[in-house]
Amino acid sequence: MATTKHMPAPAEVKEELLKKYPPKVARKRAKQILITEAQQAETPEITANVRTIPGIITMRGCTYAGCKGVILGPTRDIVNITHGPIGCGFYSWLTRRNQTDASAPGAENYMTYCFSTDMQDQDIIFGGEKKLEAAIQEAYEIFHPKAIAIFATCPVGLIGDDIHAVARKMKAKFGDCNVFAFSCEGYKGVSQSAGHHIANNQIFRHVVGENDADKPGEYRINLLGEYNIGGDGFEIDRILKKCGITNNATVSGNSTYDQFASAHKADLNAVMCHRSINYVADMLETKYGIPWIKVNFIGAASTAKSLRKIAQYFGDRSLIDRVEEVIAEEMPEVEAVAADVRSRTDGKTAMLFVGGSRAHHYQDLFAEIGMKSISAGYEFAHRDDYEGRHVIPDLKVDADSRNIEELEVEADAERFSSRKTPDELEKLKEAGFKFKHYDGLIPDMDKGTLVVDDLNQYEAEKLVELLRPDIFCAGIKEKFSIQKLGIPMKQLHSYDSGGPYAGFKGAVNFYKEIDRLVNSKVWGYLKAPWQEHPELSAAYVWE
């Protein structure tokens, strides 16, 4: 049943969020808090991908996390060595719930190991290159992997270890193991987003195109920006397989070194998480001629739409029909559960503050059970993820973004091939088909909702207090502070040990879980009796 609550106007909420800040901080934060007027397309620009103001407790992570954890983390057969103090390696070890299937006989899986050079004080003083070399040698002798990746942590950049020279030396020495390094020091960018870019560049430079052998399967696509959190990638792969679409490489959920090496063998790139991977999609298009489209497998309707888009691209009647059959087979169960759940969730409200894509994608799932997203934002996305790719030419290049290398990519003289003739492309465009297209989060939000970039702990609690959503979605750092306010909190990074939520079966899991969360009575019992009726009460002197 829908409940009507009194909600303060969005402008009042914004004012409240800013009230306690010193004037300079308030001025800066004001540019990152926007009231949408999507219907009128009057939304002014939002400030994003800028430094968090020191002292503010941000939800963001570091550049090392974006490179080592997010992009390279889900690939099972690359030995990932963290060059740095042990904490960086240890705390990035299996903390993101990217799953992998290493059940094939002989499959290598190094994800269960934590490799680190364990830098000590003397390495900081005298340099850590020798220690790194020894670690690479040791890993090679024990495992004989196809590839070893080295990740720089903050102190490595500060003391100036040349990790790339070490990588080159060891690669030449071994001859049968690709060794490459990432200058992904935690401080390198304003968030983990810089780490995505650094990872993408090096994977493209050192791995993509290494295997030219022909790959099997019809309708070959790469799935870019899908990381198999909670098994999402398994569900998407199940659906693609059922449709007869071959997933040539996922970057990087449940992936292997060879998938990256063969990524140039696909005929279409389907991009899930635009923020983390659009660089790779662009580079694969320029160098090898593979077009890319934006897809979304979060939400049953979005899944169906994405499958239809892929089928339309290939244009074969048999594939188009098969996709329709699969949708017709899968949807009845999804719709039955959605209808049942909707009777209890319709009109309820959600807030989503996650990463660089999920705060957008998950709104579809909530909408399918009648729930409204009243406020949302990303931790580290760029303006294009909010406002659409048309703003890319206007993006300001500042000292922080200039710090991240832009690869100069050209068409490969031998291996570039246009996947479609100009005529075919024209026909697709005439039929409304859009390549390289993403409109971002803002146009999908209702008028008068609040979009907040890089939300912090203080603002999160204020927002909850003022708007009392029925559910709040973010990560582990926010989990308990929100629940203590009596609002259920769903982790959309790790899924709270749940999932998958992608595809058709994932949608069913999500509906059921949200139903349980928002309709649980437990949230009404959070205050102890003495909190509601204290025998004694007091105030701080400054209050």
User: Which residues have a catalytic role annotated?
Assistant: 62, 65, 96, 196
Question: Residue from 354, 450, 463, 508 that binds ligand CFM (CB under 6 A)?
Answer: 354
CA R_g for the chain: 24
* Complex with ligand CFM: residue 96 or 238, whichever CB lies closer: 96
For residue 65, the 8-state DSSP code is I
Window 43-72: contact mask with ligand CFM (x via CB under 6 A)? -----------------------x---x--
Window 82-101: contact mask with ligand CFM (x via CB under 6 A)? --------------x-----
Could you tell me the smallest distance in angstroms from the CB atom of residue 369 to ligand CFM? Answer: 20
Stretch in the footprint of ligand CFM (CB under 6 A) among 83-91, 268-276, 317-325, 425-433: 268-276
At residue 325, the 3 state secondary structure works out as helix
Window 166-195: contact mask with ligand CFM (x via CB under 6 A)? --------------------------x---
* Complex with ligand CFM: residue 206 or 358, whichever CB lies closer: 358
* Complex with ligand CFM: residue 178 or 491, whichever CB lies closer: 491
Contacts of ligand CFM in 214-243 (CB under 6 A): 225, 227, 229
**Helix%, strand%, coil% for the chain, nearest 5:** 45, 15, 40
Q: Does 273 bind ligand CFM (CB under 6 A)?
A: yes
Could you tell me the smallest distance in angstroms from the CB atom of residue 194 to ligand CFM? Answer: 11
Q: Does 275 bind ligand CFM (CB under 6 A)?
A: yes
Q: Does 294 bind ligand CFM (CB under 6 A)?
A: no
Question: Residue from 10, 291, 356, 506 that binds ligand CFM (CB under 6 A)?
Answer: 356
At residue 208, the 3 state secondary structure works out as coil
Q: Does 75 bind ligand CFM (CB under 6 A)?
A: no
- Give which of 257, 253, 237, 248 is closest to 290, Cα–Cα: 248
Q: Does 276 bind ligand CFM (CB under 6 A)?
A: yes
Q: Does 358 bind ligand CFM (CB under 6 A)?
A: yes
Q: What is the DSSP string of 424-474?
A: HHHHHHHTT--SS----SGGGSPTT-EEESS-BHHHHHHHHHHH--SEEEE
Largest CA distance in the chain: 82
* Complex with ligand CFM: residue 73 or 469, whichever CB lies closer: 73
Q: What is the DSSP string of 341-403?
A: HHHHHTT-EEEEE-TTTHHHHHHHHHHHTT-EEEEEE-SS--HHHHH-GGGGGG----HHHHT
* Complex with ligand CFM: residue 253 or 469, whichever CB lies closer: 253
- Give which of 532, 537, 453, 521 is closest to 488, Cα–Cα: 521
Question: Half-sphere exposure of residue 28, counting CA atoms within 13 Å on the CB side?
Answer: 14
Question: Residue from 171, 462, 493, 505 that binds ligand CFM (CB under 6 A)?
Answer: 493
Could you tell me the smallest distance in angstroms from the CB atom of residue 518 to ligand CFM? Answer: 21
The first and second tokens of residue 127, run together, are 């340099």
Contacts of ligand CFM in 392-451 (CB under 6 A): none
Residue 183 and residue 401: Cα distance in Å, rounded? 14
Question: Residue from 291, 299, 355, 440 that binds ligand CFM (CB under 6 A)?
Answer: 355
Residue 406 and residue 443: Cα distance in Å, rounded? 29
Residue 249 and residue 257: Cα distance in Å, rounded? 10
* Complex with ligand CFM: residue 200 or 349, whichever CB lies closer: 200
* Complex with ligand CFM: residue 129 or 385, whichever CB lies closer: 385
In the bound state, the residue with its beta carbon closest to ligand CFM is 355
Q: Does 139 bind ligand CFM (CB under 6 A)?
A: no
Length of the chain, in residues: 543
Stretch in the footprint of ligand CFM (CB under 6 A) among 109-117, 257-265, 314-322, 352-360: 352-360
* Complex with ligand CFM: residue 178 or 201, whichever CB lies closer: 201
* Complex with ligand CFM: residue 99 or 345, whichever CB lies closer: 99
Number of residues that bind ligand CFM (CB under 6 A): 16
Contacts of ligand CFM in 2-41 (CB under 6 A): none
Q: Does 76 bind ligand CFM (CB under 6 A)?
A: no
At residue 83, the 3 state secondary structure works out as strand
Which H helix or E strand runs over 35? strand 33-35
Could you tell me the smallest distance in angstroms from the CB atom of residue 229 to ligand CFM? Answer: 5
Say if CB 504 and CB 334 are below 8 A apart. yes
Strands 471-474 and 489-491: parallel
Buried b (16+ CB within 10 A) or exposed e, 495-524: bbebbbbbbbbbbbbbbebbbebbeeeeee
Residue 59 and residue 49: Cα distance in Å, rounded? 13
Stretch in the footprint of ligand CFM (CB under 6 A) among 31-39, 272-280, 323-331, 338-346: 272-280
3-state secondary structure 242-309: HHCCEEEEEEECCECHHHHHCHHHCCEEEECCHHHHHHHHHHHHHHHCCCEEECCCECHHHHHHHHHH
Could you tell me the smallest distance in angstroms from the CB atom of residue 385 to ligand CFM? Answer: 8
* Complex with ligand CFM: residue 119 or 452, whichever CB lies closer: 452
Sign of torsion over alpha carbons 217, 220, 222, 223: negative
For residue 51, the 8-state DSSP code is P
Could you tell me the smallest distance in angstroms from the CB atom of residue 273 to ligand CFM? Answer: 3
Stretch in the footprint of ligand CFM (CB under 6 A) among 106-114, 273-281, 386-394, 496-504: 273-281
Stretch in the footprint of ligand CFM (CB under 6 A) among 177-185, 337-345, 351-359, 461-469: 351-359
Question: Residue from 357, 363, 449, 509 that binds ligand CFM (CB under 6 A)?
Answer: 357
Q: Residues in the site for ligand CFM, rule: CB under 6 A?
A: 66, 70, 96, 192, 225, 227, 229, 273, 275-276, 354-358, 493
